[in-house]
Amino acid sequence: MKTIFSSLNLVEVHHLKNLLQSAGIRCHIRNEDLVRLAGEVPFPECALQLVVEREEDHPAAETLLREFLRPRLRALKPWRCQDCGETSKGSSPRVGSAAALAKDA
């Protein structure tokens, strides 16, 4: 059995456990009681550990977690301000025209 993920965040680790289990990968969490001692006990000793139970599942579990935890940029669609007519390219939700700024003031 190998630890695939460690964290002090109980919700995060349980969510990842559910993700793996929904893919048919057997796993469990170690140190659920010790995590409460964070700060008094060194992190490596008390961090929650998500453990994959079968060695043959480890590569699939790593791939799933890597894909799930990978940062993604959210593409915003271009839109037009109804007040001033300025078009945003989607990079910012604010319109930079003087009319729109004056309306906010």
**Residues in Cβ contact with 58 at an 8 Å cutoff, skipping those fewer than 6 apart:** 2, 4, 52
**Could you read off the pLDDT of 25-51 as tens digits, one per residue?**
999 999 988 878 888 888 888 889 999
Element (H, E) at 42: none
**Could you read off the pLDDT of 7-19 as tens digits, one per residue?**
999 999 999 999 9
Domain ranges of the chain: 2-69, 74-105
Task: Inform me whether the pLDDT recorded for 98 exceeds 50.
Answer: no
HSE value, Cβ hemisphere, 13 Å, CA-based, for 95: 19
Element (H, E) at 88: strand 87-88
Question: Is CATH 3.40.50 the classification given to domain 2-69?
Answer: no
pTM for the full predicted model: 0.65
In the structure encoding, which two tokens stand for residue 64, read together? 């799933």
Share of the chain above pLDDT 90, in %: 47
